[in-house]
Structures are given as C-alpha cells and as structure tokens.
C-alpha cells in the first residue's frame, strides 16, 4: 500500500512540479508581504495559496483519467476484489500531498523576512431597512465575526439640549452612552453577529439622527499569527472535495476531468457567501432559486475559504457543526467511492 500511495503522489506531483510549487509559494509571499512590491496583506497570501489545491484537484482528475485509459481498474480488480484498497490509496495519497502543500504554505506565516502587516480593520456598509427617528433596524447581510463593531455617526444638530445624557439601547437592554462629536462604537453580541440583524433605539427620544451613509461595520483583520489557523481551515475546505472527486469518478463512473470540474462547481457553490436576495418571478428568478436551493443543501462552510482582500468578513464565521457536516459529506463520498464491490472476472 505505501508503494501505491507513493506512486500516486509521484504521478500527481512529478519532481519538476515541486520546483514550480516552491517558486509559486515564493512569488505569493513576495506579492503579498513585500512592503514595496506587494499588497502587504495576509488575505492576498491566502488567496494565492488557494490556487495550489485547485491545480492538484484538476491534476488528480487527469491522472485518474489516464490510469483508466491504461487499464488500471482491471488491475485493481485482480489486486483487490473487495474494491476499497484503490480509492483509499488515492485518498491517502492526495491527503498527504494536500497536507504537505499547507504545511509548506504555513512557513511564511511563522518565518517571514518581511515585516508583518500592521493591525487594521475592514469597514463595510450596512443597510438600514427601516428607520424612524430614534429607532433603527440594521441588516449586516450575512453572519459576521463576533469581534465586529458597528460604527454609528449621530447628528445632534436638531437636538434642543445636546448636553443631556442620551443612550443607545438594543431590545435586550444593553446600552451605551452617545456623546456628541464621537463615533458610537457598538460591539456586536454573539447573537447579533450570528444573525446578521439588529435593532437599536435612542433613549430618551430627543431627535438624534443617524447619518445613514456613514454607518459602517468594523471587522478587525486577522493578524499573521492567525495565518496557520486560516490555512488549516482552508485545508479542511479542500479535503472533502478530493473525496468527492473519487466518488464521482469511481461510483459515478465519470471521467476524471469531468469529475474534477463537478467538484470545482460544488466547491464554488459551497464557498458562496449566503446572502438574502430579493427574487422576483420569471425564469431567471427560478434559476436563482434553484442555485440557492443547491447552496442550502450544502453545509455553510464559506468561512473556511476566507481569502482575498475582504477575507476578514468571512474568517472564522463557519460554525463547528457546519465544518463537521462538510467533513461528514467528505467521509460519505469516500464511503461511496469504496462501496462498489467488483467481483473478479474470470
């Protein structure tokens, strides 16, 4: 079995590909962390790293297709009539390659010749669906990290006596004092962050107005020390995709390349941030509804693939139950890939 795993790893990542991988990793590090040349952002690095498992996915699909055309399935039947040895070998080989990729990708987070990006935060507009004077209903569009803060700019120009104490309160009684000329920083409670919706009102009602275009959600950007954690989450996103690839190929009997494209499509849907959309009627709305239905059938794991310039919005938003569900889906796929028992043909 170790020889078969080694052979698959060599097929999927030939020796000269490793040079390409390390060169790509070096380029990603320079383009992301160099103070003059790069974007100076961890999100950028995570985005570049996510290319490697995608390349591996398609390469693996191609290797499986080549092996099929070379008659490997027939040899497998002769080698193991129970039929689970070959898929397990493929899965372990691919998992090892994926693990090596992510361990190597973590190195620049631990040892980086460039200065770490300074602590910063991302700011996102907030929709205020309904707002009478002194009462506001905020829609954050999706679940946000629990460390987020809502920034409110209040206009006091219509208040008769700006020196009186004014409080901003939520329906649960949590309140903060509002001071003229200061940005009100409202830290989100875990429930508000998870739900992505919240309501606030001012107490007493003195005519304080919220400057709606200036309302922002502040989300701290993860620092370099959280890089390995985010890479581990990215690993957990891609890992089940490889099991799904094997299931499509072995159980569904699709060609390797087509299986890889199907997994790519599934991964794209799983990585789609869920947003409330206002759907009208018509054929396009029906199509959009079907896309949403398929998305809802998958566990909400978009937080695992937090990468790019807006990664702080998604980072660490996937619940443990969703991650477990995604991994179970992978395990189920692996079981499906192993399930078929093929008797030896005389």
Partner 1 sequence: MNPPPLSARILATTVGGLALAGWMLGMTLPLGTRPWQGAQSWWNERRFHQAAADQDYPTLLALGERDLQLTGRGLLFDYAIYRVAYGASAPSYAHLPADALSWARLGLATLEKHLPEVPNPWAGLQTQAYTLVERVFPLSHRQQDLDAGLHALADRWAGSGGPTASSPGLGALYRSWLQVAPRQRPLFLLQKMQGPTSEQNL
- State which of positions 3-42 bind partner 1 (CB under 8 A): 31-32, 38-39
Number of residues that bind partner 1 (CB under 8 A): 68
We find the least distance from the C-beta atom of residue 103 to partner 1, in angstroms, to be 20
DSSP string, 155-184: E-TT-S-TTS-EEEE-TTS-EEEE-TTS-E
* Residue of 21, 91, 102, 248 interacting with partner 1 (CB under 8 A): 248
Instruction: Decide: 93 and 1 in contact? Cβ < 8 Å.
Output: no
How far is residue 267's CA from residue 234's CA, in Å, rounded to a whole number?
Answer: 12
- Nearest distance in Å: CB 173, partner 1: 26
Question: Position of tokens 């999927």?
Answer: 12
The distance in angstroms from the start CA to the end CA of the chain is 25
How many other C-beta atoms can be found within 10 angstroms of the C-beta atom of residue 329?
20
Strand blocks (E) in 35-126: 121-125
Q: What is the separation of C-alpha 279 from the centre of its chain, rounded to a whole number of angstroms?
A: 25
Residue 184 bridge partners (DSSP): 152
Q: Does 220 bind partner 1 (CB under 8 A)?
A: no
Please, what is the minimum distance in Å from the beta carbon of residue 79 to partner 1? 16
Written as six digits, the tokens of 237 are: 């996103």
Question: Quick one: 149 or 189, whose CB is closer to partner 1?
Answer: 149
CA atoms of 97 and 56, how far apart (whole Å): 9
Strands 127-132, 135-139: pairing kind: antiparallel
Using CB under 8 A as the binding rule, the residues of this chain from 71 to 110 that contact partner 1 are 73
124 is a contact residue toward partner 1 (CB under 8 A): yes
Contact 42, 26 (CB under 8 A): no
Site string for partner 1, 316-345 (x = CB under 8 A): ------------------------------
Among the listed residues 14, 115, 125, 204, the single contact to partner 1 using CB under 8 A = 125
Map the footprint of partner 1 across residues 150-179, applying CB under 8 A: 151, 153-157, 159, 162, 179
Closest CB 83 distance from partner 1, rounded Å = 13
Q: Classify 27 as helix, strand or coil.
A: helix
The answer to the question of residue 284 lying near partner 1 (CB under 8 A) is yes
- Kindly tell me which residue out of 29, 50, 202, 333 binds partner 1, with binding defined by CB under 8 A: 50
Smallest distance from the beta carbon of 142 to partner 1, in angstroms?
13
Cα–Cα distance measured from residue 116 to residue 222, given in angstroms and rounded to the nearest whole number: 11
Residue 163 CB, nearest distance to partner 1 (Å)?
Answer: 9
* Shortest separation between residue 8's beta carbon and partner 1, angstroms: 18
The DSSP-derived string for 65-82 is HHHHHTTHHHHHHHH-TT
Our finding on whether 267 is near partner 1 (CB under 8 A) is: yes
Contact footprint for partner 1 (CB under 8 A): 31-32, 38-39, 44, 47-48, 50-51, 54, 68, 73, 121-125, 151, 153-157, 159, 162, 179-183, 185, 211, 213-214, 216, 218, 248, 251-255, 258-259, 261-262, 264-269, 271-272, 277, 284, 287-288, 290-292, 294-295, 305, 307-310
């Amino acid at each position: 079995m170790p020889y078969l795993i080694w052979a698959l790893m060599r097929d999927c990542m030939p020796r000269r590909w490793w040079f390409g991988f390390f060169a790509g990793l070096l380029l990603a590090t320079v383009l992301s962390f160099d103070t003059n040349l790069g974007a100076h952002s961890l999100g950028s690095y995570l985005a570049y790293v996510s290319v490697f498992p995608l390349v591996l996915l398609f390469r693996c699909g191609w290797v499986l297709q080549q092996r099929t055309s070379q008659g490997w399935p027939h040899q497998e039947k002769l080698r193991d009539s129970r039929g689970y040895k070959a898929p397990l070998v493929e899965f372990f080989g691919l998992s090892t390659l994926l693990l090596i990729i992510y361990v190597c990708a973590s190195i620049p987070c631990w040892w980086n010749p460039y200065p770490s990006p300074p602590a910063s935060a991302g700011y996102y507009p907030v929709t205020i669906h309904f707002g009478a004077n002194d009462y506001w209903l905020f829609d954050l569009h999706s679940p946000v990290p629990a460390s987020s803060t809502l920034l409110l700019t209040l206009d006091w120009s219509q208040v008769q006596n700006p020196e009186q104490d004014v409080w901003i309160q939520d329906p649960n009684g949590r309140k903060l004092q509002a001071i003229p000329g200061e940005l009100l920083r409202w830290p989100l409670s875990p429930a508000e962050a998870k739900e992505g919706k919240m309501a606030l009102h001012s107490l007493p009602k003195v005519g304080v107005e919220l400057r709606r275009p200036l309302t922002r959600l502040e989300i701290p950007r993860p620092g370099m020390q959280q890089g390995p954690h985010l890479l581990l989450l990215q690993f957990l996103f891609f890992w089940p995709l490889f099991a799904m690839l094997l299931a499509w190929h072995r159980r569904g009997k699709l060609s390797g390349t087509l299986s890889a494209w199907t997994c790519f499509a599934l991964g794209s849907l799983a990585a789609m941030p869920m947003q409330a959309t206002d759907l009208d009627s018509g054929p396009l709305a029906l199509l959009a509804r079907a896309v949403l239905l398929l998305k809802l059938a998958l566990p909400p794991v978009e937080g695992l693939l937090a990468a790019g310039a807006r990664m702080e919005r998604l980072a660490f938003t996937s619940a443990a139950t969703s991650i477990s569900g995604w991994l179970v889906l992978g395990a189920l796929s692996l079981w499906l890939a192993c399930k078929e028992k093929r008797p030896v043909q005389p």
